[in-house]
Each structure stands twice: as structure tokens, then as C-alpha cells.
Chains A and B, each alone.
Chain A
Amino acid sequence: MPFKIIASQCTSCSACELECPNVAISEKGGTFVIDPKKCTECVGHFDEPQCVAVCPVDNTCVVDTSLPRYQARA
């Protein structure tokens, strides 16, 4: 649930889409968006969220504080 992409900073490079283990990322209106229903913060897949690690613009893939953290749902 918790990661989101700040659209104004997204370069539309698609790197996050290719890395996301949950296929939660897709292109929408020229930039990329994360489907909060599919995002697991990469818990159970990798040590760090892949979109954050691969994004060329710092602080563009960030925790969506308006939603509860993924682990909190479990």
C-alpha cells in the first residue's frame, strides 16, 4: 500500500516498472503511478523497496503517509 510517485519529479524512465516485484507500477498520463493495492513495500521480496533504489531522481518514490504501512495491515 504505502509507496507513491511524485508525478512532478518523475522522468518517465520506466525503471521502477521493470523492477517492481508486484507489477504494481504502470504508466498513466505520461508519468508512472503505483497501485497502492498491489504495493507491498517489497517486503518478502527484497531488502529495499526497488522503486526507491532504482529511481534516478531522489525523493520521488516516497512513502504515502496518507495510507497505513504495508506491515501494519498484516
Chain B
Amino acid sequence: MDVSTLDEASSAESAVDIGKVMPIAARNGCGRSGGGGKASCGSQAGQGDLPTEIWEKVKNHPCYSEAAHHHYARMHVAVAPACNIQCNYCNRKYDCANESRPGVVSEKLTPEQAAKKVLAVASTIPQMTVLGIAGPGDPLANPKRTFKTFELVARSAPDIKLCMSTNGLLLPDHIDTIANFKIDHVTITINMVDPEIGAKIYPWIFYNHKRYTGVEAAKILNDRQLQGLEMLTERGILCKINSVMIPGINDQHLVKVNKAVKSRGAFLHNIMPLISAPEHGTVFGLSGQREPTAQELKALQDACAGEMNLMRHCRQCRADAIGLLGEDRSAEFTTEKVMAMDVEYDLQMRKAYQAKVEEERLARLAGKQEELVELATNMSDINLMVAVATKGAGVINEHFGHAKEFQVYELSTTGAKFVGHRRVDHYCQGGYGEEERLATIIRAIKDCHAVFVAKIGGCPKSNLLKAGIEPVDRYAHEFIEKSAIAWFKSYLEKVQSGEIQHTERGEAAIRQAALISAA
């Protein structure tokens, strides 16, 4: 691959490059104009400025609302193995139970097995509110299996939201079926709106009984994706756009993609970092195509934020993931275990549990508001990030040593905004020793000023301090935003009194695809 041509092509394509994006991000994004607002989807813990009918659709969908993802869980059923396009970042052959990335599953299911699995999970995890079909191939390349599954689930568990994620090639053909099944969330993966760039991402598509390659393939795919998006918007179906950020190929171009999908009514844009480890055997993995850094990803997300909802809490999960976004409980629900379960669907129990979750959520919002009032008296331009160890529910409730990921919040005088997460779990091949694990964590949160934990040992504490990251355990089991704002307030006071000096932090590494199964 000739990298210089790639660079040339992409810089001619758009005037924005990542270096230039950084200052824009600082001006535009985070914290200056309202803390969260539009910059991160549903970053506001409440309805915010969303119309009521849309809020009703997203308030307990973990993928469509950042606030919901702390409380509600989703599940994917792998009923759709076939695909009709080839992507250079995808290889569905590789299957490791400890591997977490899109397109990977441990076992395929029939619609009947899937429906039973949904009931089993819904009974065990009452905060599971969404069923998605996301592959491992493309749901619409397997229309019979996909829609049969939705039909069975809608009949036996009518309160569960139905959702699908597609490459969009066949979306216009199935739009009425989607609407009839009341699937009110559809995700389309759109990585480009320029077929020249598309040709570097998609080697071929299979369409109308023919294989198309190169620019011609990318053009058909993109036309169909945008047409599908418009048709979804017309029917009032909420649409999320997933884009894979591929440095040197479409990174700068995604600003243009963002504008194109926004103008066609997409509700949410999720820009995800490329996963390209060579051991996954993808074209990009083998060609040495690099992944973006955490800072590059955030700069691009900030540049796209503007008035568009931007998703920053995506965990790039497996096509058979189960649980809160940061966890994966799929190993508890293998077909063998599910088929042996005696499942009784208790809608009342689920409703009662979810009512409790809502109470918890309101308490969390109230706590945040309280601290915000306090913080409002401070005047400062300081803007920094902190990492949080949490098991969910919006509370600092995880031990530093047990954390599989850290959530990252950006703090400024306008509040605390969720801006992403960093995985720090063991990699599936062998894992790390304790010392190496600590180094991995420090690398992953190097851009943060502090890390909030429920508990932390003496040794990691001193290593973190040496690395310039303050371990904070005094807010154990309290709400994240409330605590982070309180800490930030005292930080600003210390800076103002001259007790400490504020410094900028370095760049951190993203470690995707390493989320190990919880079981």
C-alpha cells in the first residue's frame, strides 16, 4: 500500500486535519458551552432539550443514551451469520471466547434459540431493555432469521426494544418490514461518502446477484446507505451512524461524513477507533494499518460534536454481547445453559426493578445539580480529565485492581462530561503479571489528572502518584459526577491558593478488543 498517495488523497478531500482539529476541539467541544449538551449524546443525565417522544425512545437504551448506559443493559443475538460486503477491518473467522470486538461470536443461534435466550436473560437481568441483532454478518443479509427472531421476541417479551445494526446495502428493500416490526432503532455503519475512499475500505460488495469491486462497489454501497438513512428518518425511526476511524484513510473525511448524515436526519454519530491487531487476521491488521490514539479519536469526536449528538460510550461489543456496555455476561448464557433453564417471563418484576433504577438515576442527577451550583462560583479556564473505576449505576464502586475499564470524564467549570472509556483488562493470550498490568493502566489513563476508585492498595497508589495521577478513594460508593465536580472544585481552590500548580497531561493509548468475559 502506498501511504503517500493515501495521505494526499485524504488531505485533498478535506481542509480539516487532526492537528488543526485540536484547537477547534478546545474551543468548541467540551465544557465551554454547556458542559455536555449536544457534545456527547445524552450526556445530560435527564431529558435535556430532547423532545419527549424521542426521550421516551432513548431513555433506557444504553447505546443511544450515555446516561442510560450506566443503568441499562443490552443483548445481541447472533442469528445473522451471512454478510454481503467485505470490510478490510473485519474478519469473522477469528473466534476467541475472550475476544471482544464486532463480528465475533462464540456460537450461532436459530431464531427459536435466540428467543428463548432473550427470555432467559430478561428474567435474570431485569435492567436488560434492548435486544439488538448485529451480526456477526449483516442482519439484512439474513432477513428470514432476523425478522423471525424479532417476531418471536415481540410476542413473548413485548416490553423489550428491538434494534438492529446494518451495513445499509439492503436497507431500502426492507424498510417497511423494519417499520412494521416497530424496530425503532437502526444503526448504519457509514465509513465514507466518497467512493474513492470507500474503495480503500471495502474490497467488494455482493449486490443483485453480482460481485462489485473498487469505486463502483463503494458508490453503490454509499448510495444505498444514504437512501436508507433518509427512509428511516422519514418514518421516524431513530438512526445511529457508526463510523470506524482509520488513520490516513478516512479520519479527516469523517468530518464530512458527519455533516452528510446529520443533514439526512441521523440522531447520533458514533465514531469508533479502528481495531487492527495483526492476530485478528484482518486486511488492515496484516497490512500494518495503525489504530488511532485516544487523543486523535477525541479530537475528531470533538470536531464533529457541534449540534450533532455524538456517542462516546461505545464499547465495540461482540455480536453476542450481554449486559451493561462495560461488561460481558454472554458466558452465563450459552445455548446449552439457556436450553436447560426453566424461564418464566415476569413483566411485573422487570417493571418494579426498572422503577428502582429510575429512582437511582434521579438521585444521581440531583447530586450533580447540587455540586454544580457550588462550582458555579468558580471562574477558571482549566479543563482536565479524570478516570473512574465503576461497575455501573453511575457510582464509584470498583476496586482499582479489579477494574476492567476506566470511564473518562472531562471536567471544567461547566461540569463533568463523559468523554470515553479505556480498557485495561488482561489480554486473552496469557494475561499480564501485576507489574505489567499496572504499567498498562498508567499508559491507558496517562492523560488523566486523577483516578477515582472505591479502594486501592498502597503499592499502586504510590506508582500512580509517581506517574502524576492522583488516586482518589474518598468518594467510594458515591455518584460519579457529583464526586468529580466536588474534587474539581477543591483542585481549583488549591491551584488558586498556589498550593499546587496545574499542568497539562500527556497522550494515552486506546486498548480495544481486550475485554475479557466476566465469567
Task: Give A contacts to B, CB under 8 Å.
Answer: 11-15, 17-19, 46-48, 50, 53-54, 56-57
Contact = CB atoms under 8 A, between A and B. Distances in A.
A53 to B, nearest CB: 4
A13 B206 CA distance: 14
Contact of A19 (B81, B93, B108, B209): B209
Contacts of B137: 13, 15
Residues of B in contact with A, size category: 10 to 19
18 contacts: A11-B92, A12-B81, A13-B83, A14-B142, A15-B84, A15-B141, A18-B82, A47-B209, A47-B210, A48-B211, A53-B206, A53-B210, A54-B82, A54-B206, A54-B211, A56-B86, A56-B92, A57-B93
A31 to B, nearest CB: 12
B82 A15 contact: yes
Binding site secondary structure of chain B? loop
Contacts of B92: 11, 13, 56
Contacts of B93: 11, 57
A53 B206 CA distance: 7
B140 to A, nearest CB: 11
Contacts of B83: 13, 15, 56
A64 B108 CA distance: 29
A17 B86 CA distance: 17
Q: Which of B81, B82, B141, B142 has the most CB of A within 10 A?
A: B82
B211 A18 contact: no
A18 B142 contact: yes
Contact of B209 (A14, A17, A50, A57): A50
A14 B86 CA distance: 15
Contacts of B141: 15, 18
B114 to A, nearest CB: 15
A13 B82 contact: yes
A17 B83 CA distance: 12
B81 A46 contact: no
Contacts of B210: 46-48, 53
Nearest to A12: B81
A51 B69 CA distance: 41
A50 B142 CA distance: 16
Contact of A53 (B81, B108, B136, B211): B211
Given A11-B93, A50-B209, A54-B206, 5 more contacts: A13-B136, A15-B84, A18-B82, A46-B210, A48-B211
B34 to A, nearest CB: 45
A47 B137 CA distance: 25
A7 B142 CA distance: 22
Nearest to A42: B209
Contacts of A53: 206, 209-211
A14 B211 contact: no
Interface in B80-103: 81-84, 86, 92-93
A67 to B, nearest CB: 24
A54 B81 CA distance: 13
A25 B211 CA distance: 19
B108 A12 contact: yes
A34 to B, nearest CB: 16
Contacts of A11: 92-93
Interface in B187-216: 206, 209-211
A70 to B, nearest CB: 18
A46 B108 CA distance: 29
Nearest to A46: B209
A29 to B, nearest CB: 14
What are the 8 tightest A-B residue pairs by CB atom distance, in nearest-first order?
A15-B82, A53-B211, A13-B81, A54-B206, A11-B93, A46-B209, A14-B82, A14-B81
A48 B141 CA distance: 19
Contacts of A12: 81, 108
Nearest to A52: B211
Interface in B94-137: 108, 136-137
B210 to A, nearest CB: 7
A48 B210 CA distance: 7
Interface string B472-515: 00000000000000000000000000000000000000000000
A15 B211 CA distance: 13
Contacts of A56: 83, 86, 92
A50 to B, nearest CB: 6
Contacts of A13: 81-83, 92, 136-137
A57 B142 CA distance: 18
Contacts of A14: 81-82, 142
Contacts of A18: 82, 141-142
Contacts of A17: 82
A54 B82 CA distance: 9
A46 B211 CA distance: 11
Interface string B323-334: 000000000000
A74 B82 CA distance: 33
Nearest to B87: A56
Nearest to B95: A11
A17 B81 CA distance: 11
A62 B468 CA distance: 59
